[in-house]
Structure 1
């Protein structure tokens, strides 16, 4: 299951700052349809993603009926991404 979408990098401040790109509503609805097959527990969904030239593996976090794509420093730093930046995402859900 492959997706391409654009979104704004958001920051969540917890014990340490975390950065995410919210998955749009329609794409989140499509992912929910296969969530039981894809999730390995806790509702997280394993994905392969690409932002710019950086490809990475991670897991989507469920949030308020949608999903958040986590952005580690290894993804943000090479592209100087920070909160408020608009990014284009290519993503494949690992089933």
Structure 2
């Protein structure tokens, strides 16, 4: 049995998000803020990530709630946040 494909949250399709995400990546020099690797040549592998996840009350379009993470660091951070939510830890 296959897992259903993940649906994209509509906020990430808005022009406001796209402009903000591009701005944050450029502002932070295309560097992952967790592992410090340079993604200037692989910009598609860098994600503008909510520090406090939206599911946990983080602001959608607040630049102070955003960081740049590579896909590997982002997936690790997101998995940890999901685990904490499941355990009921704030």
Task: Report the TM range for the smaller structure's normalisation.
Answer: 0.3 to 0.5
User: Which of the pair has more CA radius of gyration?
Assistant: 2
TM-score, structure 2 normalization: 0.35
TM-score, structure 1 normalization: 0.34
Would you tell me which structure has more helix in proportion to its own residues? 2
Would you tell me which structure has more strand in proportion to its own residues? 1
**Structure possessing the higher relative contact order (Cα contacts under 8 Å, 6 or more residues apart):** 1
